[in-house]
Copies of this chain bind each other. A is one copy, B any other.
Amino acid sequence: MIHHPVSRVLAAELPQHVGEAVEIDGWLHRFRELKSVSFMIIRDRSGLSQVVITGGYEAPPEESVLRIRGVVTANGQAPGGVEITDPTIEVLSRAEQLPPFDLYRPQVPGNLPTVLDHAQVTLRHPRLRAQQTLAAASIGGFRSTLDDHGFTEIHTPKVVESATESGANVFELDWFGRRAFLAQSPQFYKQIMVGVFERVYETGPVFRAEPHDTARHLAQYTSLDAEFGFIRDHQDVMIMVREVIAGMIQSVRTRATMELQLLDVELPKVPEEIPQLHFADAMRRLGKDDVDLAPADERALSAWAVEEYGSEFLFVTGYPMAKRPFYTQPEPGNPSYSNSFDLLFRGLELITGGQRLHRHGDYLAALAERGEPIQPYASYLDTFAYGMPPHGGFALGLERWVARLAGVDNVRLTTLFPRDLHRLSP
């Protein structure tokens, strides 16, 4: 007689239990009926397991939730080298309808609206799910790297009084009868917090009322922001960026090993020193004379960095002040350029960062030069009158990072429940 254990074993742990009676719980991922035998694939948080049923069985619809007791039996043909035999099956929760496509097929169908409209169930597809595991591992690596470097996590307001920073593209809000706006970034707050903690980071939602319906823009995305003081210039920020990217990749490598395999993702190598190219040199190389890089330029420079340095990462430094926000530190001796950078990764801008102004007078001058009023920035500007060190920072969009890493064309597919011009649900 077999004594069943009270507690559950996960799919990934089954190989350690060969010969034992176990309980597995999970979703009916797939049911296949052959002549004299049927197979169930059960999905749980750790992976898939195979259950063999001899004789007939009237299976519930796929995605039903099952509790199965049986014996772990070695079988070289089965996933993980084991399968459950002699099962007793209990239906914990019977599915009433089938997903819009078979979740067990290797690929997600190309019909984007179907995938997104039914995200409440399509996210259960192992590939879509795996991308979210990459995201979780990445953000974990971001935080732990910065923790190790003496940064402190902060939480700043997502509703603000003035539509400042980037001017347009803000969502307007009714705040107890007053006009307010959703924050486009924690930029001002993270700079203020350098005065408190020297080194801070925030991981949280930001909002852009992007009227464009592109594959790389979202109206809400997860911004990974860092800012720190006592830097020499933007080169110190770039050194930290390199550490953070390496830490994120290391975290993905160790925390999402199975998912990397499933998605067939090759993790990029991070050079000890990421190559860099000044914006002026980039223009010469591209044979252009402009103040910004077009998407095609980013792709060309990225390809050049792979060829020249074997690096999938490239810093473009010194962007023209004309295209950078007012708080950017101009390049010493060359003030039409700036102490700022973008990090290109696999043909796309991934990170933007730089050194900021830190003297109160420099802020007043910068706003005056741009013909901007001071009042909307009052408490932010005030910070610099109290003494602030030279500082800088950077920001990275989590969804865009995962899209590049996993080779996904549309950033909506790396977001659980995307928000855009048209989409407010699920």
A interface residues, Cβ below 8 angstroms from B: 8, 25, 27-28, 44-46, 61, 63-65, 92-97, 99, 118-121, 123-124, 129, 132-133, 135-136, 139-140, 143, 147, 150, 152-161, 171-176, 178, 180, 182, 189, 192-193, 195-199, 204-205, 207, 209, 211, 219-220, 222, 230, 358-360, 378-380, 382-383, 385-390, 398, 415-417, 419, 421, 424-426
A175-B424 contact, Cβ under 8 Å, with A64-B387, A121-B195, A136-B152: yes
Chain B nearest CB from A182 CB (Å) reads 7
* Interchain nearest-CB distance for A251 vs B (Å): 11
Judge whether A198 and B95 touch: CB under 8 Å: no
A-B residue pairs, 6 tightest by C-beta = A379-B426, A45-B198, A95-B387, A63-B387, A96-B385, A161-B424
A120 to B97, CA, bound (A): 54
Closest partner residue, chain B, to A61 (CB atom): B387
| A97 contact set on B, CB distance < 8 A | 385-386
**Contact status of A129 and B389, CB under 8 A, knowing A424-B175, A425-B379:** no
Of A147, A155, A209, A230, most buried by chain B (CB within 10 Å of CB) is A155
A27-B387, A387-B65 as given contacts; A153 in contact with B136, CB under 8 Å: yes
Q: Pick the most buried of A27, A386, A417: most chain B CB atoms within 10 A of its CB.
A: A386
Residues in B whose Cβ lies below 8 Å from that of A27: 195, 387
Q: Max chain B CB contacts within 10 Å: which of A25, A28, A132?
A: A132
Give the nearest-CB partner of A179 in chain B: B424
A-B contact pairs, 11 of them (CB 8 A): A27-B387, A65-B389, A93-B359, A93-B390, A123-B195, A133-B152, A155-B222, A158-B205, A171-B173, A173-B174, A176-B209
| Smallest CB separation, A72 vs chain B (Å) | 19
- The answer to whether B156 and A417 touch across the interface, beta carbons within 8 angstroms, is yes
- Which chain B positions have C-beta within 8 A of A176? 209, 211, 421
Quickly give the copy total for this chain.
2
Which of B159, B219, B220, B386 is within 8 Å of A120, CB to CB? Answer: B386
Cβ-closest chain B residue relative to A98? B386
| CB-nearest residue of chain B to A97 | B385
> In the bound complex, how far is the Cα of B419 from the Cα of A157, in angstroms?
7
Q: Are B419 and A45 in contact (CB under 8 A)?
A: no
CB atoms of A197 and B45 under 8 A apart: yes
Task: Name, among A161, A378, A385, the residue most crowded by chain B CB atoms within 10 Å (CB to CB).
Answer: A385
- Further pairs besides A120-B195, A157-B417: 15, Cβ < 8 Å: A25-B389, A27-B195, A45-B197, A45-B198, A63-B387, A65-B387, A65-B388, A118-B379, A120-B386, A121-B383, A132-B196, A133-B152, A140-B153, A155-B205, A172-B174
Which B residues are CB-close (under 8 A) to A118?
379, 382
A173 proximity list for chain B (CB < 8 A): 171-174, 182
A133-B152, A189-B417, A387-B65 known; A196+B124 contact, CB < 8 A: yes
Asked if B175 and A174 make an inter-chain contact with CB atoms under 8 angstroms apart, the answer reads no
Nearest chain B CB to A56 CB, angstrom units: 22
Contact B155 A121 (CB under 8 A): no
The answer, among B46, B63, B121, B140, for a CB contact under 8 Å with A147, is B140
Of the candidates B94, B178, B386, B419, the one whose C-beta lies within 8 Å of that of A63 is B386
* CB of A28, distance to nearest CB on chain B (Å): 8
Decide: A386 and B121 in contact? CB cutoff 8 A: yes
Q: A139-B153, A205-B204, A398-B155 are in contact. Are A197 and B129 (CB under 8 A)?
A: yes
